[in-house]
Amino acid sequence: MASTGHVLFDESGQPFIVLRDQDKEKRLTGIEAVKSHILAARAVANTLKTSLGPRGLDKILVSPDGDVTITNDGATIMEKMNVDHHVAKLMVELSQSQDAEIGDGTTGVVVLAGALLGEAEALLNKGIHPIKIADGFDLACKKALETLDSIADHFPVNDRDMMIQTAITSLGSKIVNRNLEHLAEIAVDAVLSVADLNEKDVNFELIKVDGKVGGRLEDTILVKGVIIDKTLSHPQMPREIKNAKIAILTCPFEPPKPKTKHKLDITSTEDFQKLREYERETFEKMIQQVKESGANLAICQWGFDDEANHLLKRHDLPAVRWVGGPEIELIAIATNGRIVPRFAELSTAKLGSAGVVRELSFGAAKDQMLCIEECPNNRAVTIFVRGGNKLIIEEAKRALHDALCVIRNLVKDDRIVYGGGAAETACSLAVSEEADKIPGLEQYAFRAFADALECIPIALAENSGFSGIDALTELKAKQIESKNARLGIDCLSTGTNDMREQKVIETLLSKKEQISLATQVVRMVLKIDDVRVPDDEGQM
């Protein structure tokens, strides 16, 4: 048997074995390493390409535990793909960066990066140095961003109907597209409820998206308040409390325990009775402190036992137990209350208030949730998603997240471009025209960048069942002839290529971020020229 290592000794004389793995690895350097990276990245991008656009296909993803996810949300697909190759992981992080920063366009950014790398490979085969290609792509990216600025339209932020159309563009490619308008209206109203239009800022912490299996997608509602998946602790407590004064507690309803280790010996019935009496008095004192503050509802982060529950009912103090930390914070924000860590600190000034707190019942099983409405801080809202099964609800939540992000981006920057590949085609034509003015080798990279931008309209056309090259050639001819940057691929066969008429709108922030991020990642990949890979490692 061949030796796979040798023995060394540490400073105390203990032996340890150093394994030799070099014989199982091969080292790639120079252009070969770059081409290896490009191949891995393009494999990931090609997987995602078929999910682009309103006719894009969905992916079914099965986790190691057997959980099934069906989605065409780029960030979700990338996150759940099991990739080992380091550059493939870079593509996963690319989609996550787009999702974190912009929230939409996660598929497009990966497809564009893959196309740029494909064009870079062709230039490498011509003998052009990777740094020259990367520099050319950077210059071309700058030109593309300038073109986007020049073709952008200003969006009327006060026009709710136009905002709904933008949300519909985002939702159009999702599973939930049969309820487009209803969900788009909910997304717009949710963002406008929490938006600060003067500061051009949206606090997403104030929007909670919750879901419950049962009912139909059409039953999804927007609640101007907070919904929590809890019920009142005692079945005989009132199901509805009007003009609620809420004590928000993070201290448990139980007798305080000694701080040090302790042992309690109960040797007689009297001792046991005294302990019971002490506990009851402690509970009643706590309840009295809550009631003296003026509260008529207690929401507690911790649980309490049946005796405390019985005493709460007897003293007519409705209570909710085991409410999670994030929900406690949201309730405090919505009701203008303060979170109280000790009963001794409870006072009238720290109570939250709400117009009505009621239990909602759902479905045949009569599942119940608590709804806190008519809060003084009306900027806290909850989107309550319904659906026939968990898959539909999870996909609806992802789709709503994208739509919420689109509306938030419009509040931040009210400029828009038109979808359907219209903006990419306009940028491609402008970059291609600029290439003729570049004297050096970078002009090859300029033309390659222009060709890569065309991958988006081609993918949209192919996913809609058209010939990609024919549709692109026709689109470019129309844009050049009419000098109209609103013309795109008619994916839904409506009879017009004008995306303004089709109301297919994208935010300028999203489009600029897509092109910038894709270019940055391509530059990073082109600059890695040394890597060790196991002999048996695939490209992904």
**Dist CA 94 CA 92 (whole Å):** 5
Q: Name residues whose C-beta falls within 8 Å of residue 221's C-beta, 6 or more positions apart in sequence.
A: 186, 383, 384
Task: Answer yes or no: are the C-beta atoms of 226 and 352 closer than 8 Å.
Answer: no
Q: Which residues are catalytic?
A: 73, 106-107, 402
The closest alpha carbon to 304, from 282, 337, 333, belongs to 282
The closest alpha carbon to 226, from 98, 95, 320, 123, belongs to 320
What are the angstrom distances between the C-alpha of 162 and each of 73, 93, 181, 399, 536?
A: 23, 32, 12, 19, 54
**Dist CA 376 CA 390 (whole Å):** 33
**Dist CA 84 CA 438 (whole Å):** 39
What are the angstrom distances between the C-alpha of 156 and each of 72, 333, 411, 416?
A: 30, 30, 10, 10
- DSSP string for 316-379: T--EE----HHHHHHHHHHHT--EESSGGG--GGG-EEEEEEEEEEETTTTEEEEEEES-SSTT
- DSSP string for 456-470: HHHHHHHHTTS-HHH
Q: Which amino acid is at 430?
A: A
Task: Answer yes or no: are the C-beta atoms of 343 and 290 closer than 8 Å.
Answer: yes
